[in-house]
Amino acid sequence: MRRRSRPVPALAAPDTPAAEAPAAAEAAPAPAAETKTKTKTMRVVYLGKKYDEPLPLSYAEKVVTDKGIQGARLMLKEANQAGNFVGFSFELIEEILPKDGDIVAVAKEALANGDRFFIADLEPDDLLAVADLPAAKDAVIMNIRSSATKLRQASAATTSSTSFPTTPCAPTLSRSI
């Protein structure tokens, strides 16, 4: 059986009245409060739409409709574990709209709130609409859905620096400041 320990009242010095001793004990700072460090929080915005997913190649596989957000949640968990050692924490804001939702309006609102790091689970047309927003010029937008050639061709037409991978395993859209 565990016993709870009770705080022991401070003993009064011989020349101090007993009524002043508890007040002196409360004024002393707790050692745990001194060692607490402030963490810096980084907000990560997940922009997604509920698109029609292609059927799997085998009937043995289930249709996965939320693999993008599940990956982002896993990333958040691992990033918070690692960031805890160096004073960083991460917060995931999930913005998942219906297929016909206005993703540009949601992106504008997030950019107006000061968010600058986005995970975009978007088709090429929606991704380019978000990336071409004037407020997104200093944002980092990671494309996790598409490796379409259209995205690499569109990057040549933009005025800011944009990079796209050539392999579909890790599609990324990033814009430099």
Q: Does domain 38-54+61-175 have CATH number 3.40.50.2300?
A: yes
User: Cβ contacts of residue 18 below 8 Å, gap of 6+?
Assistant: 12
Please list, in sequence order, all residues whose beta carbon lies within 8 angstroms of the beta carbon of residue 103, skipping any fewer than 6 positions away.
47, 49, 97, 122, 126, 129, 130
User: Domain limits of the chain?
Assistant: 38-54+61-175
- For the whole model, what pTM was predicted? 0.65
| Residue 80, CB-side half-sphere exposure with 13 Å CA sphere | 13
Beta carbons of 105 and 133 less than 8 angstroms apart: no
- Which residues does residue 175 pair with via DSSP β-bridges, in sequence order? 162
Q: What pLDDT was estimated at residue 98?
A: 94
DSSP designation for 159: S
Lowest mean pLDDT across 89-103, 109-123, 135-149: 135-149
For 56-96, the pLDDT digits (tens) are: 888 888 888 888 899 999 999 999 999 999 999 999 999 99
Tens of pLDDT, residues 118-130: 999 999 999 999 9
